[in-house]
């Protein structure tokens, strides 16, 4: 019984256990050599005297950088960068063998090189415009090419230029240009509205003119004579005395005798 206790104590000295949680992998390294068995979750028993367990996350990681990027015109553009990546579980051994556990520094170095090459092909204002997505995509593609030459197993997901700070003079110039464009757009809108209103008035005037022409074309001598007869009939119905000066065909002047008398007395 005593010997059994001693044996347990000896085994406990040469045996240890590591727990691998979801979202990470565990690899046993014995005398410097990595095991081919990659544990995704659970426990790993190992001898702490000759072995160790290296655990790496396989979740998406974010490397944040503050860099000054060159532009095509030779300006320096300050930017806040995020590099999203993750390790492929079945290739973690390759990453550790080729890059070591400090692989994030390699990713950062690859980014600096790719970003300098790509950004130097664009103007500073492009980094602050809708072309930013194109710049991010080109940097990501160039990073993938360069990183694959060094190790396989790092999945680059995205490069995000979250904040761009242009040189003060250029920023002011861009703001003035944008303001001028907005003013021009407002002026164009006002001019377009005025043109529409002018066209409306022209159409309305043409309509009235056409209506008058149609009416004038319809006033034949016969119709004028008929209208004159109707006018005489209406005058005949009136109780007031009237003085009518006419050529016998149409009434030309219609006056009130009482009113004429009053005018003469005055």
Confidence tier at 204 by pLDDT (50, 70, 90): confident
Predicted pLDDT at 265: 47
Q: Say if 187 falls within a structural domain.
A: no
Separation CA 246–CA 108 (nearest Å): 107
Predicted pLDDT at 141: 94
Range of the domain at 234: 221-265
Q: Assess whether pLDDT exceeds 60 at residue 248.
A: no
**Residue pointed to by tokens 């790496």:** 56
Q: Say if 194 falls within a structural domain.
A: no
pTM tops 0.85, yes or no: no
Does 53 share its domain with 67? no
Predicted pLDDT at 205: 83
Q: Say if 180 falls within a structural domain.
A: no
Q: Helix H segments across the chain?
A: 2-13, 92-99, 103-119, 132-148, 168-218, 221-237, 257-265
């Amino acid at each position: 019984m005593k010997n059994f206790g001693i044996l347990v104590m000896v085994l406990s000295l040469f045996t240890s256990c590591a727990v691998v949680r979801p979202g990470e992998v565990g690899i046993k390294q014995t005398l410097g050599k990595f095991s081919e068995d990659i544990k995704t979750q659970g426990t790993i028993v190992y001898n702490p005297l000759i072995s160790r367990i290296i655990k790496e996350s396989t979740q998406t990681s974010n490397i944040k950088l503050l860099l000054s990027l060159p532009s095509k015109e030779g300006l320096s553009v300050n930017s806040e960068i995020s590099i999203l990546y993750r390790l492929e579980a079945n290739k973690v051994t390759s990453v550790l063998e080729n890059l070591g556990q400090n692989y994030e520094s390699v990713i950062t170095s690859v980014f600096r090189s790719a970003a300098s090459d790509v950004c130097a092909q664009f103007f500073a204002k492009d980094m602050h415009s809708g072309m930013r997505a194109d710049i991010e995509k080109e940097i990501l593609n160039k990073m993938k090419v360069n990183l694959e030459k060094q190790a396989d197993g790092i999945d680059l997901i995205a490069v995000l230029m979250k904040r761009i700070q242009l040189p003060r003079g250029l920023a002011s110039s861009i703001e003035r240009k944008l303001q001028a464009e907005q003013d021009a757009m407002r002026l164009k809108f006002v001019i377009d509205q005025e043109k529409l209103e002018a066209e409306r008035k022209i159409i309305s005037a043409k309509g009235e003119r056409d209506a008058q022409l149609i009416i004038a074309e319809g006033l034949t001598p016969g119709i004028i004579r008929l209208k004159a007869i109707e006018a005489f009939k209406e005058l005949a119905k009136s109780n007031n005395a009237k003085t009518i000066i006419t050529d016998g065909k149409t009434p030309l002047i219609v006056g009130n005798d009482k009113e004429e008398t009053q005018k003469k007395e005055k």
